[in-house]
């Protein structure tokens, strides 16, 4: 997880490259204040996966803060308040000719440089009239990240009739963590709070009185977790953590035996942070775990992974060296649900879920390494993620049989010729544009 950004360069190389570096910095000056970047370029929809196309609904977006006054503090085991900022996307009733401007998503890079990206949702527009009981989808970013890291998924799913809540995981965002002075400062909190934050978001939005709660189906929800969000999602869906004295020392810095035992008691929970029960909330009816972290360090109890019964799609890069692809394959094999899938991006590493890199992140490896894939275009990855996320949610939450067809795949997508005949592309993919992916389905 430590970037080569921190490696020292020889003086002769610095002197040689200084003019080039200065010119590059000058050409990538910060955007003018309040000018949002458009990260996506137009592509013919004929070439994109069919379920990546926007739905029938105009999308609204609002920011909401929720609070858990009964949160148990990791360091002391005492009750303390914990707040989360959510970005909420939803089908909207809005007259686009008179609507407020399209949403701009303001964030900072890993080194704290501010940036703004352009969305397609309308900020603070009214929720659609006459529509009740829309399924809720929770989005959970990695370490570090921010709630709009996967805004393309939030807007997309909302356009197809879902309410989407993306979490800013407190202590675990770009804004919270100083990646130069103390890059691991938020990691203990992340280990402890990730699954709890996911479950809190579902509980709060279905129980408390908010602007959107009356429109949320209290019985149907989906979950998308990326990296540490995937680590949390597996616990939320029923797996148990099994932190040992060694892993606690490695990831929290605590080596004192008594303190380590106390931390283990708090960390080693099941099913959304439970200590007295191991049953996942039955409202979770479909999930995506994208590049989930943790199994390579054996932080999950192996037997408990079989407790996951929720339909679950793992998405992973073939060369993921952060979460370790073979460890994700192992999770897939051990997951107990009757509908468990694995989508593999060939020649990809870990950065398969974020929106494309903003200009502010192009200057250093530490920052662009948060987004960049050497062999894949981020816009294409986003489109494929949209396609399969909608297929999972429509098939397993809305019970749409036509959506399930997009999950009934075999082998790889490359349309390799057999006996002189080229095979058909995967359902939903255009001829010649279904390439670079593998699929496993364990029934």
Q: What is the pLDDT of residues 138-175, one digit of tens each?
A: 999 999 999 999 999 999 999 999 999 999 999 999 99
223 assigned to some structural domain: yes
Residue 356 has pLDDT above 80, yes or no: yes
> Confidence class of residue 22 from pLDDT cuts 50, 70 and 90?
very low
Quote the CA–CA distance of 131 and 433 in Å, as a whole number: 36
Is residue 231 assigned to a domain? yes
Q: What is the pLDDT of residue 34?
A: 55
Q: Which domain holds residue 226?
A: 7-442
Please state the rounded mean pLDDT for residues 17-46.
Answer: 61
Task: Tell which residue, 104, 121, 100, 109, has the closest CA to residue 35.
Answer: 104
Cβ–Cβ < 8 Å for 109, 360: yes
Whether 396 is covered by a domain: the verdict is: yes
Give the per-residue pLDDT at 131. 65
300 occurs within a structural domain:
yes
Task: Using the predicted structure, report yes or no on whether residue 326 has a pLDDT greater than 80.
Answer: yes
Let me know: does 412 contact 438? Beta carbons within 8 Å: yes
315 within some domain: yes
Q: Please check the confidence at residue 5 and state whether its pLDDT lies above 60.
A: no
- 228: in domain: yes
Give per-residue pLDDT as tens, 217-257.
999 999 999 999 999 999 999 999 999 999 999 999 999 99
The pLDDT of residue 132 is above 80: no
Element (H, E) at 131: none
- Per-residue pLDDT tens for 391-421? 999 999 999 999 999 999 988 999 988 777 8
Q: Looking at the predicted structure, is the pLDDT value of residue 15 above 60?
A: no
Query: Sorting pLDDT into bands at 50, 70 and 90, what band is 111?
Result: very high
Predicted pLDDT at 125: 93
Instruction: Please tell me the pTM assigned to this model.
Output: 0.90
Helix (H) or strand (E) holding 47: none
The domain that contains 144 carries what CATH number? Answer: 3.40.50.1820
Q: Is residue 351 part of a domain?
A: yes
Check residue 72 and report its DSSP letter: B
Cα–Cα distance for residue pair 64/381, rounded to 1 Å: 28
Q: What is the pLDDT of residue 422?
A: 84
In the chain, how many domains are there?
A: 1
Strand pairing of 284-290 and 411-412? unpaired
The answer to whether 323 touches 349, Cβ cutoff 8 Å, is no
How confident is the model over 365-375, as a mean pLDDT? 93
Percent of the chain with pLDDT over 90: 79
Residue 25 pLDDT greater than 50, yes or no: no
- Residue 163 within any structural domain of the chain: yes
Quick: pLDDT tens for 53-105. 999 999 999 999 999 998 988 877 788 899 999 999 999 988 777 767 899 99
Query: If you average pLDDT over residues 98-118, what whole number do you get?
Result: 92
């Amino acid at each position: 997880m430590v970037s080569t950004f921190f490696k020292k360069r020889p003086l002769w190389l610095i002197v040689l490259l200084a003019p080039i570096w200065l010119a590059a910095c000058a050409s990538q000056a910060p955007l003018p204040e309040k000018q949002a970047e458009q990260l996506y370029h137009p592509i013919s929809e004929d070439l994109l996966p069919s379920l990546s196309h926007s739905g029938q609904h105009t999308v609204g977006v609002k920011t909401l803060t929720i609070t858990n006054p009964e949160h148990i503090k990791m360091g002391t085991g005492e009750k303390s308040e914990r707040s989360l900022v959510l970005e909420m996307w939803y089908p909207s009733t809005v007259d686009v000719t008179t609507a407020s401007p399209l949403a701009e998503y303001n964030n900072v890079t890993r080194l704290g440089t501010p940036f703004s990206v352009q969305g397609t949702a309308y900020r603070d527009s009214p929720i659609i009239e006459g529509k009740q009981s829309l399924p809720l989808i929770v989005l959970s970013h990695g370490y570090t990240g921010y709630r709009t890291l996967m805004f393309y998924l939030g807007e997309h799913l909302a356009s197809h009739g879902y309410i989407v809540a993306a979490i800013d995981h407190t202590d675990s965002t770009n804004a919270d963590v100083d990646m130069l002075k103390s890059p691991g400062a938020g990691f203990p909190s992340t280990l402890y709070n990730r699954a709890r934050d996911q479950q809190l978001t579902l509980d709060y939005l279905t129980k408390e009185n908010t602007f959107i709660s009356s429109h949320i189906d209290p019985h149907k929800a989906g979950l998308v977790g990326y990296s540490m969000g995937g680590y949390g999602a597996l616990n939320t869906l029923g797996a148990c953590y099994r932190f040992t004295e060694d892993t606690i020392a490695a990831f929290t810095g605590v080596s004192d035996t008594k303190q380590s035992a106390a931390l283990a008691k708090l960390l080693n929970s099941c099913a959304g942070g439970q200590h007295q029960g191991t049953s996942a909330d039955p409202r979770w009816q479909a999930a995506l775990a994208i590049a989930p972290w943790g199994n390579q360090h054996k932080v999950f109890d192996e037997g408990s992974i079989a407790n996951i019964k929720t339909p679950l799609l793992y998405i992973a890069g073939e060369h993921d060296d952060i979460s370790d692809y073979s460890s994700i394959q192992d999770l897939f094999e051990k997951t107990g649900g009757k509908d468990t899938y694995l989508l593999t991006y060939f020649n990809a590493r870990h950065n398969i879920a974020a929106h494309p890199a903003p200009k502010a992140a192009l200057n250093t490896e530490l920052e662009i390494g948060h987004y960049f894939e050497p062999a894949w275009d981020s816009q294409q990855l986003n489109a494929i993620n949209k396609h399969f996320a909608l297929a999972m949610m429509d098939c397993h939450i809305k019970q749409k049989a036509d959506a399930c067809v997009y999950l009934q795949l075999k082998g790889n997508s490359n349309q390799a010729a057999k006996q002189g005949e080229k095979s058909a592309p995967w359902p939903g993919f255009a001829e010649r544009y279904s390439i670079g992916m593998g699929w496993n389905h364990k029934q």
